[in-house]
Structure 1
């Protein structure tokens, strides 16, 4: 594995903190748990914190037509900005919450993020204009970033080695239930009332999670393990990521790859309902793809040790490119039958579980000296970049499958080219 040299004494000092396999102040009272919290409750609590973000995306999809009518949007595609504003805010804030929580501990920044999320959900419920709604969604995304970044940090604080991997796997398995049930929840809320109930539901749900966290989750980063908050450490980490070919190319490949996912999510309601006239069945079909994506994450965990992350992720990306080009050709020839669209989509989307996790791991290979801050930089680059790319693709929707299929083909091909650059023109290489 190629190691990145330390660039300055200041960088080494500012990014270093004492090694901690598991914080003895909070871990160990119950096997796999934290403090007085059992392993099962700890897993469910962290999954709930991470689910705050997923709910804010997936629960909104059935409400798109209602919001477009309420705000009298001249272009139906503009309702996609309800998701894009949130995703950009979420991506941008990741770069801040990692270093902030390393300086001030986990609980205070986490509660600040949850508080911002709740307030913005309430603003969204009563937003008189579309502009105010987008403003609320952007800052709601900022708040949600704290839940994801800090939840991952808490796992790293309290567990290590195989136990950490086990906890993370269980957290992700519980977390993946949310994309399955969130669209149906949104549909039910619309059927029994107005779309504003969705924002009220998010505020109530996140308030309950906040109370649960206050009562049951102790501080996991003691004073002795905290490090100074310095702007230069973030700038240096950006420079290291941007000047390392392997890290930069894989980060950008994920950004383009994420762009196709965000384009699909933001256009899903228009495709399932507008193109294929599925009506109230939209949440069921959307959830079907989400279930396949959850299964693929589990399969990836089983296969990566046997096949290696490069073979698995490179092969999945090649298949994704081939399928996206196939879908584009089908769309060029005429209307794509729903069975064909859903079949291709049902194979393409689960490949995310084989690509993104492994690409992230590969991108981090040369960044060991700045792993914590570099992880936040990579998260920011991928989410914000993918959100912008997804918005560009989503805005081209014209009532047919062609713009989305073309977008899939273009961005996945670019991602493949970036991987080729990173790997000196070779795919499926040996692990390093």
Structure 2
């Protein structure tokens, strides 16, 4: 543990970190029940266009990761997180007062861009204060809280829609972001000393970019992450239509989504228990193979029946997301492993490249929705194969050992 004056208690710091981490998940998942109402109120002719409420947020978040990481190394963690939160709050206000779908998307772009600040820089702030097992403990506590957000966020959004319009969901985002901003300002000291800050130089950014591009491990795992998560972005973009239009579940949507979200939480817990024994490389290749085979099997089933049942879709989701959850828990760490000399900038570049790739893949998958589950299942199957191929290509002839990376 590093010595820093006026340190918050572990419980308070972990809670603040969890709140800042959770802004991204809250801003995505709480919106899902409102997509249909937004399309109706703002006159969106093509229902699939309304999915951009999700996709544009991911786009802003991708560029935000590239922006805020390097800025925090030069100007300090706290003020950069504050800047991101202010941008997020402004985006929420734009969305609340928007009278057209275009202005709503501008608000969502700003929200995604701003939310990337606390999400990205908070990891660096944890690294500034803690090392080794102490850092792992903070991240574990924060992630345990964070895992709950995708489970309950759609229910929060649905509850708001029962008593008010979708604009109040953005109001909830604003209130959450404001509380986080106020908490950060009055309680959390700056963690990066002036002497430890590095000037922001174009040459440094270009050099770090070249380090990432020259690393087969970094590029391979980053693209694999983007391909895999791209299918998931397509799922998130169209899941509300799948549940409401295809399966007509009504108000049960948040609860069914929560069941699928629990799969990620279970995968995270399982991964923490098996990663040391089996190693990250074995886990991600096995888990990605499993998720892809499950998707391929369900794809064939969907083609063989007139209308797949809701139960079969839920079974596919639980099994597939268990596999993907195991991959997510390890693949980012493997992508970062050869980038120790440019860790901060490397994390920003890996985050940007994987997120931007997932946006490019996920938006077309979502917009291919045709009233059936086939487009999204096809996306998981096809890009599961792509991701698995990249994982196997990356792992070939590399010096990283499976158990050693655990």
TM range (shorter): over 0.9
Richer in helix (by share): 2
Aligned to 2:339: 367
User: How far is 1:425 from its partner?
Assistant: 8.2
CA RMSD, Structure 1 to Structure 2 (Å): 1.5
1:398 paired residue number: 370
1:268, CA displacement in angstroms?
1.0
**3-state secondary structure, aligned to 1:176:** helix
- Is the CA contact (8 Å cut-off) linking 1:125 and 1:196 kept in structure 2? yes
Match of 1:217 among 158, 165, 188: 188
Contact 2:281–2:395 (Cα < 8 Å) also in 1: no
Equivalent residue number for residue 358 of structure 2: 386
User: How big is the shift at 1:429?
Assistant: 6.3
Instruction: State the match for 1:154 in structure 2.
Output: 125
Q: Distance in 1 between matches of 2:118 and 2:185?
A: 13
Q: Is 1:164 aligned with 2:135?
A: yes
1:82-137 CA-to-partner distances (Å, cap 9, x unmatched) read 11111010011101111101111111111111011111101101111111111111
Alignment of 1:103-122 (within 5 A): 103-122=74-93
Contact 2:223 2:353 in 1 (8 A): yes
Match of 1:6 in 2: none
- Residue 284 of structure 1 deviates from its aligned partner by 0.3
Segments of structure 2 that go 5 or more residues without pairing to the other structure are none
Answering whether residue 291 of structure 2 is matched by residue 312 of structure 1, we say: no
* Equivalent in 318, 321, 335 of residue 349 of structure 1: 321
Partner of 1:29: none
| 1:222 Cα offset (Å) | 1.0
Q: TM-score, normalised by structure 1?
A: 0.90
* Contact persistence 1:252–1:382 (CA under 8 A): yes
1:138 matches 2:109 = yes
Q: How many residues align?
A: 402
Counterpart residue number, 1:271? 242
TM-superposed deviation, 1:338 = 1.2
TM-score w.r.t. structure 2 length? 0.96
Residue in 2 aligned with 1:43?
A: 14
Corresponding residue SS for 1:212: helix
Whole-Å separation in 2 of the counterparts to 1:230 and 1:352:
37
**Alignment pair present for 1:239 and 2:239:** no
Rounded to whole Å, the distance in 2 between the matches of 1:382 and 1:430 is 22
Residues 166-214 of structure 1 show CA distances to partners (whole Å, capped at 9, x for unaligned) of 1111110111111111100100111101111111111111111111111
The residue aligned with 2:254 is 283
- Could you tell me how far apart the structure 2 residues matched to 1:98 and 1:308 are? 28
Contact map agreement 2:225 2:354 (CA 8 A) in 1:
yes
Q: Is the 8 A contact 2:60 2:110 kept in 1?
A: yes
